[in-house]
Amino acid sequence: MPTDDFTSMEHAFDERIVRLLHQQLTGEVLTTEEQQELDTWKNTSLSNTALYEKINDEAAVQQMLQTWHQIERNREQNKIRFLAMLQQLQPSSISKRPLLRFLNNQVFRYAAAVVLLIGVVTFFWFNQHKPLEPGNKVVSVDKNMPIAPGRDGAILTLADGSTMVLDSTGNGVVADQNGTSVVLQNGQLAYNTGNGASGVAVYNTVSTPKGRQFKLILPDGTKVWLNAASVIRYPTSFEGNERNISLQGEAYFEVARNAKTPFKVTTGEATTIEVLGTSFNINAYTNENTIRTTLLDGAVRINAYHQTATLKPGQQAAVKPSKGQLVVLNAVNTDQVMAWKNGLFNFDDASLDEVMRQLERWYDIEVVYEKGIPTAHFGGEINKQNTLQDVLHILEGSKVDFQLEGRKLIVKP
């Protein structure tokens, strides 16, 4: 937290401030003392001011609610799929959470209060697992301009080496590749295969820098969600008996079914994932020591270092290049694996360096450890639409201090 008089209050202020904000949003008149306390809190930091303005802005509240609706729906769908796979629950016993709805502008105050409480529930749930310690603080965080979260966008590299920045390109046909039209529509890239293809393989590459994620549909209809700092290379039309692509980074695939033409993903130096039609996630960042393939639906076969494994839904293949080892893990937490796609950070039992690598990729920052990597583990989920400063405030119960200098985050023991 900031190094000012407000620091001594730690996060005990949250319960009271939340109550005052809730009173104000629902139309209850505050006393002079309560209003003064709320104004003091609001003016203490840039992030407090931003939060106050956000929950008093109807359009922002509606967008936040829509984001949380999507997060909850995706989380519930993953849970249902996972439980059904384990056959631990009957379909009739699985109840879906009701989703909030915007009925009209008259309920805006109450909707804003709901958004506020959603965020605070996330905060307190997180801190029940990691209670605050006296003296913990985030150093100098609020003295920086808020660092915004990542957004949709990517760079398309065509067969001739020319590039296009897709988050600044309008809708429509952006290129023609060997008789195949490359179309950008509402932030999603797709390929319309024509009849004029020469039969010569032509490859495109889509890469997401730090702070960007992107969705594309491959020429065979396979849907791909690309996480930040990732690269996928693929032909503009699939010919022959196999559909071969390569991946570096992280992506979630929903593969178009074609029993006659297996879909293969090559990642790393010696790992190939083969599927027919299925949903799975691959995490293959070069700065992670394990390549993880997690199956949600269907079946995939993993080949790595002369070892082979066939996955069932809910299983994960962990390939360790340093040891040339392939291990299959059962009953994996698919909510945690899919959190990135569903708009969340899921830090359940995550180490500090694992958390920092995710923040580096999403917020486009550099993380530096002042005296080695402190031992700390986390729990809970955080909305990825928070600013970096908001996330650091939530993480400050970890017995680790942070100092933010521009886009460099210094981790102090």
Using the predicted structure, report yes or no on whether residue 254 has a pLDDT greater than 90: yes
The lowest-confidence range among 115-124, 307-316, 318-327, 379-388 is: 115-124
pLDDT value for 338: 95
Q: Convert the pLDDT of each residue in 71-84 to its tens digit.
A: 555 555 655 555 55
Neighbours of 229 (CB within 10 A): 24
For residue 364, what pLDDT band results from cuts at 50, 70 and 90? very high
State how far the Cα of 61 lies from the Cα of 42, in Å rounded to an integer. Answer: 18
Report residue 201 CA to chain centroid gap. 33
Tell me, yes or no, if the pTM score tops 0.95: no
CA distances to 178, 272, 275, 286, 317 from 307, in Å: 37, 11, 17, 21, 11
Give the whole-angstrom CA distance, residue 91 versus residue 363. Answer: 39
Parallel, antiparallel or unpaired: strands 401-405 and 138-139? parallel
Residue 131 pLDDT greater than 50, yes or no: no
* Domain shared by 22 and 140, yes or no: yes
Does any domain span residue 96? yes
The H or E element containing residue 7 is none
Question: At which of 239, 258, 285 does a domain end?
Answer: 239
Task: State whether 142 and 153 are in the same domain.
Answer: no
> Which amino acid is present at 141?
V
* Mean pLDDT on 189-204: 77
Per-chain mean pLDDT for the chain: 78
pLDDT at 6 over 50: no
Distance of CA 173 to the CA centre of its chain: 28
pLDDT of residue 97: 36
Q: Are 98 and 347 in contact (CB under 8 A)?
A: no
Q: 77 or 92, which is more confident?
A: 77
CB count in 10 Å sphere of residue 204: 22
pLDDT of residue 38: 84
100 lies in some domain: yes
Given a cut of 70, is residue 46 above it in pLDDT? Answer: no
Taking only the tens place, the pLDDT of each residue in 290-303 is: 999 999 999 999 99
Same domain, 132 and 156: no
Same domain, 99 and 205: no
| pLDDT for residue 41 | 81
The residue among 68, 76, 50, 44 whose CA lies nearest residue 117 is: 68
- Residues 157 and 81 occupy one common structural domain: no
Q: How far apart are CA 244 and CA 10, in angstroms?
A: 53
Other CB atoms within 10 A of residue 214 CB:
26
Answer yes or no: do 122 and 160 share one domain: no
Q: Can you give the pLDDT at residue 28?
A: 73
Composition of the chain by helix, strand, coil, percent to 5: 30, 30, 35
Q: What is the DSSP string of 176-244?
A: EETTEEEEEETTEEEEEE-S---SS--EEEEEE-TTEEEEEE-TTS-EEEE-SSEEEEEESS--TT-EE
Distance CA 95, CA 151 (A): 32
Q: Where is average pLDDT lowest: 26-35, 163-172, 318-327?
A: 26-35
β 212-217/151-152 pair status: parallel
Q: How deeply is 117 buried, as exposed, middle or buried, from its count of CB atoms within 10 A (0-12, 13-18, 19+)?
A: middle
280, pLDDT greater than 70: yes
For 277, phi and psi rounded to 5 degrees? -165, 110
Rounded average pLDDT over 383-404: 86
What phi, psi does 250 have (nearest 5°)?
-135, 140
Given this model, what pLDDT does residue 393 score? 85
pLDDT-derived band of residue 11, with 50, 70 and 90 as boundaries? very low
Between residues 31 and 319, which one has the greater pLDDT?
A: 319
Give the lowest-confidence range in 62-76, 92-106, 338-352, 395-409.
Answer: 92-106
Question: Is residue 70 in a domain?
Answer: yes
- In percent, the amount of the chain with pLDDT more than 90 equals 43
Q: Which has more confidence, 304 or 372?
A: 304
Give domain status of residue 80, yes or no.
yes
Range(s) of the domain holding residue 206: 149-239
Q: Which is more confidently placed, 38 or 228?
A: 228
| Amino acid 66: pLDDT | 59
Pairing assessment for the beta strands 366-369 and 408-412 based on DSSP bridges: parallel
Helix (H) or strand (E) run with residue 138 in it:
strand 138-139
Distance CA 337, CA 99 (A): 23
Looking at the structure, do residues 116 and 177 belong to the same domain, yes or no? no
Q: How many domains does the chain have?
A: 2
Percent of all residues in the chain with a pLDDT value above 70, rounded to a whole number: 70
Start-to-end C-alpha separation, the chain? 15
Over range 218-222, report the average pLDDT: 93
pLDDT value of residue 296:
94
Judge if 77 and 191 occupy the same domain: no
Is the domain of 218 the same as that of 92?
Answer: no
Q: Which has the higher per-residue pLDDT, 240 or 106?
A: 240
Return the pLDDT at 326: 95
Q: In the numeric block, which tokens belong to residue 90?
A: 């009957």
Asked if residue 173 belongs to a domain, the reply is: yes
246 part of a folded domain? no
| Nearest of 90, 111, 115, 112 to residue 102 by alpha carbon | 111
Choosing from 239, 255, 289, the residue where a domain stops is 239
Q: Are residues 220 and 128 in the same domain?
A: no
- Tell me which H or E stretch contains 282: strand 279-284
pLDDT at 60: 62
- pLDDT score of 61 more than 80: no
Q: Last residue of a domain, which of 191, 209, 239?
A: 239
Q: What number of other Cβ atoms are within 10 A of residue 355's Cβ?
A: 21
Examine the domain organization and report whether 13 and 44 are in the same domain. yes
pLDDT at 156: 94
Instruction: Decide: 234 and 265 in contact? Cβ < 8 Å.
Output: no
Burial-class residue 306 by CB neighbours within 10 Å (0-12, 13-18, 19+).
exposed
Q: Do 142 and 157 belong together in one domain?
A: no
Task: Name the band, by pLDDT with cuts 50, 70 and 90, for residue 116.
Answer: low
Does some domain include residue 227?
yes
Residue identified by tokens 């401030």 is 17
- Residue 257 within a domain: no
